[in-house]
Structure 1
Amino acid sequence: MPVLTRRRRWVLLVTVVALAIAAVGLVALRGCRAPVCDSVAYPAGGVRISTGGKGGVYEAYGLALRDVLEDDLPGLQVEVENSGGSVDNLSRMANGRVDLAFISADTAFRVPALEQQAGAPGRIRAIARVYDEYVQLVVRSDSSIRSLSDLRGKRVSVGSEGSSVEITAKRLLAAANMNDETDIQRRGYGVSQSADLLADGDLDAFFWVGGLPTTAVAELASTVPIRLLPLDRYVDTLHRQYGSFYQSATVPQGTYTNVPDTRTAAVPSYLLASTTLSADLVFRLTEALFTHRTRIAEVVPSSRVLDVRTAISTASIPLHPGAERYYRSIKP
């Protein structure tokens, strides 16, 4: 066996080290596309996504997004958490408990105050406007309830505490000259529990704000005949008093079993990211969101409407630097 000189041993060692570094680089760059072609640092504890209640669209979207991210970013750990909804999600992000979250646009006004309370100004940023949420006031088809005013004295769920449903329900009842504390038998359930209670006759109506179709409402409609109450007459009031994000919309016939076209209100929803996540990582997260929107749509039909032209419209919440870089990178 030939004896290696000191010089040859040194060259061999340098070569081995160089090959090892290159191998690590290839792993780190798996799926890399310009302008982010350096290794992306993952948070030590992974990425935590705060969604919403059981049976809601936020939950379904969060689970689908987790699968996409874990496939696109090998080695990234993604945890999906249920929550009370939009306001709860904002609080969790402001306090550093989660990294990504879904919210309804009508709760965005709370961002500055929550950041201030948490001592973290500027922590909450947006990735995209992802889809529109529809206000749904659900009753059994044999119910005598035909309008908001018919809810007086009835057992009504206005959504779980800390949800955008609660905010919207309160605003709608006020638009109909009703108080959610005194004019109804107020309940505070999430969509799944509300649907179960309505089916059992232990609830007269419930509010829900979510994408179409919402799993819990669809499952309810498949077993118990339901109706959605028209709410479009109150959109102008909501628009004037609270913001232009409230718009008239229609829940199309066929969304739920035997439920005809129903005019209602809609409000955008946003996917948010904490500034504790690096710009490089959020670039890749945003890229994955758009690259795999068809795959996500297999689970969440609402995600089909995701479009780069409207995604940047996140109102008072600025884009995360990583998301902003992504949108600039795809401009023609």
Structure 2
Amino acid sequence: MENKIGIIDEGKKVFEIEIDELKKIKDKVDENFEKLVNMIFNLGKNKVVITGIGKSGIIGEKIAATLASTGTSAIFVNSAEALHGDLGMISEGDIVVGISNSGNSDEVLSILEPIKKIGAKIVCLTGNKNSTLAKYSEVVVNIGVDKEVCSIGAPTSSTTATLVMGDAIAACLMKLRNFTKNDFAKYHPGGSLGKRLLLHVSDLMHIGEELPVLSENDPIETVVMTLTKKKMGAVCISENGKINGKLVGIITEGDIRRALQHKEKFFSYSARDIMTKSPIFINKEAMALEALNLMENRKNEIGVLPVVEDGKVIGIIRIHDLIGLK
């Protein structure tokens, strides 16, 4: 017979239990936590080695990855694999963070003596302050929970607590190092955040034959044909009508539509009659995200920016080139 449960209620109960346990763990962030953070911060050229087995090991991999991506040299070593050669990844002076909720995982305990002989420091995240792992450790950070979310005691609240404690360590280290978004981007050049923070206007702007540039004296027919041919959504107007000339204005598709309201005069116009003088522009060395913000955060949004260098037009960048940076 099918065993029916209130699935939504059961799901919410998991959140309630884990949130309650995390609140308790927050109160365990004490001087031992502070000591561990300072030990890692003062490591110098050495690294942090996270080790564990099973679910704790999986959480340990994530903690190591977070540390490594936020300015702390860190690796993960599976405790079982360490017995078969991976201890070679550990060097004298390293800090080895053993993760074990019970503090008595055989695989973790079996590598403690070898780690001491190597000359690395042992610390731990454990829920058992009286465990063998805790006795081997210079610093013990308590991640003990009162309740897992299921009756059989499968690692749930305990692994969440370990994960958050790892995040807290990483976040404190970032603060101590004044780790910035640009620092983060260096380690994530392929990620969306990295792309946003590393790309400059010069990486995306249109130049050369793609760049529509005319002079103030060019007739409206030339402006319209250039807009149509170049498909940039705007034409830059320079003092000499050429690339690298002094930027004096810009004509957008919107300017053409407004000019068409005066049909009887339209074909008598030249570029100077309809251009926007002293337009907003951006430097090629500016961040691409800055260009996007400049276009979007205005009373009247604009879709195109001239790119200048020493007052001279050298390129153009469109909002379409920047889609995906947010």
TM-score bucket of the superposed structures, by smaller chain: under 0.3
> TM-score, normalised to structure 2's length?
0.24
> TM-score, normalised to structure 1's length?
0.24
- Name the structure, 1 or 2, with higher relative contact order (CA <8 Å, separation 6+): 1
Indicate the structure (1 or 2) with the bigger Cα radius of gyration. 2
